[in-house]
Structure 1
Amino acid sequence: MSQPATSSTPAASDPLLEVIGEAVHAVVPEVDPADVTADRTLAELGCNSVDRAEVMVAVMGDLGITVHPSEFSRDLSIRSLIALLRKYE
C-alpha cells in the first residue's frame, strides 16, 4: 500500500509538481511534464543553467512569489524545490 503524500513527499497530483512540470515543458518542450517527478533534478531533465533560470522565473510568476536565486542549486531535487517554494506561498 502506498504512503499518503506529505509536504516532503509530493504526490503525482501535487499542484506544485504540476506547475513545475508545465514550466519545464514550456522551456524544454521535449520534456514530458509526466517525466517531472519528485526525485529528479532540473539538470537530470535536460535543463541547462539558462533553462533552469527560465523555469524558476515561470514557476515564481505562476505562484506570485519571489525566491532569491541563491536558494536554488543545480542539484536541487524537485522534492526539495517544492519544499522551498512552499516556504514562500
Structure 2
Amino acid sequence: MIIGAFLVYFLLFVFIFTSPEKLKRKDKRMKHLFFIPAIIALVMTSLTVLKVYFIYKILILLFTGFTLLLSYWQWGAQIKRWWES
C-alpha cells in the first residue's frame, strides 16, 4: 500500500514537473528531472503514513513551495550553478 501511494504520487509529480521540451532533449541531467518529484512523492507518502489529511498535505506543499520560492529569490545564482553541474 505504501509503495503504491509512493508510485501514484511520483507519477503525478513527474507529470506535473515535466514538459515536452524537457523530455525531447536527450540531456545528461535527466536525474534532475526525477529528483524533485521523487522527493515530493516521498514527503507525501510519509504524510500518508502519518494519516495527515489531503487538505493539510496541500497546505504543507504550498507553504514549502512558497518558502522555496523565497529561497530561490535569495540564493538563485547558487542554485542555478548547482543545477548546471
TM over 0.5: no
| Rg (Cα) greater in structure | 2
The TM-score normalised by the length of structure 2 is 0.34
